[in-house]
Amino acid sequence: CRSTYFLVFSRSLFLTSSVFAIPTAVECIYYNGEVLECTWSLADGNVNYTMYYWYTSEPAEECGSYIQQDGYNIGCKFTKDKIREFVNFHVHRIGINGSESVFPPNQTFQLQDQVKPNPPANLTVNAMANSSISLTWEAPMIPRCLQYEIKYRSNKDKDWQTEYCNEQTKFTLPSVNPDDLYVFCVRSKINDFCGLSHLWSKWSSHIYWGEIITEPEEKNFYFWILISILAVVVLLLIILCRLQSIFRTSGPAPEQTIVPLIEKINQTNGTIKETQEVQ
């Protein structure tokens, strides 16, 4: 009864209020079946919202843990004890902009349809005896409620290959080439047995199997670095030889100065001897 009164009261206020812009919708995401966040954007301008919620046939309650940005409420966070599945979850907001009020339409969710799992964890690749490889991983939540998308390719593939499996946490790739390098990643989503969620998890970290081959571009890079270093060394040697040549030609060679001096001394000694003999 209280929730019915709340709805009637809200609608009566809506008729007397001014709406400045079309309010943005609330988006509720139930992260990994553990934490629920219902958020909206700040596109409504300077409107600050108060959020109320209730389950069918239960009284409304105000959000107990607001998510804020720049001083404005942009969402509400719910812990596990406040979350119920397979029952209608209603959201109502009251926006305040100065002296004016804004009342966006109420929204209703089934929270089991809003689940977004975490990425699969601990991916492992093992070689099998029949030239195949086996990829395994850990389920982020209840395994029977999940389906998976596996994405893989080799270093010779241009495009990703995609496979799907339900509940199983294992995928086998047959007839692999042991000389190739393979990369895998996996993401998860609630299957139709546990909910109608369209929200996929983020992709897991990549895991590799096979021989890691240096790419041709990387080889060329190091080749040209080596060529550049050798060219610099050769250039420095040429400059050094040129400088030595310049220094040698800038003055007389030692033998050009010493030999004439010796000859002159010899001539002088000969003249002295002749003078002594005449005397």
The whole-chain average pLDDT of the chain stands at: 84
Higher per-residue pLDDT: 253 or 151 = 151
- pLDDT score of 18 more than 50: no
Nearest to 93 by CA among 69, 72, 71, 121: 72
Q: What is the dihedral of CA 247, 250, 253, 257, to 10 degrees?
A: -140
Rounded Cα gap, residues 31 and 111, in angstroms: 10
- pLDDT score of 13 more than 50: no
pTM above 0.75, yes or no: no
Unique residue bearing structure tokens 């010796």: 262
Are the C-beta atoms of residues 126 and 134 closer than 8 Å to each other? yes
Are the C-beta atoms of residues 103 and 10 closer than 8 Å to each other? yes
Q: Residues 10-34: what's their mean pLDDT?
A: 69
The pLDDT of residue 149 is 98
Per-residue confidence band for 24, with pLDDT thresholds at 50, 70 and 90: confident
User: Amino acid letter at 209?
Assistant: W
Strand order in the sheet with 66-69: 66-69, 72-78, 35-39, 27-31, 115-116
The pLDDT of residue 17 is 42
Rounded Cα gap, residues 168 and 180, in angstroms: 26
Q: Residues 107-113: what's their mean pLDDT?
A: 97
What pLDDT, in 10s, does the model give residues 223-257? Answer: 888 898 988 888 888 888 878 777 766 655 555 55
Would you tell me how many other CB atoms lie within 10 Å of the CB of residue 215? Answer: 10
Per-residue confidence band for 140, with pLDDT thresholds at 50, 70 and 90: very high
Q: Residues 100-106: what's their mean pLDDT?
A: 91
What pLDDT, in 10s, does the model give residues 36-85? Answer: 999 999 876 788 999 999 999 899 999 999 999 999 999 999 999 999 99
The pLDDT of residue 8 is 41
- pLDDT score of 132 more than 80: yes
Instruction: Give the DSSP per-residue string, 90-109.
Output: EEEEEEEETTEEE-PPPEEE
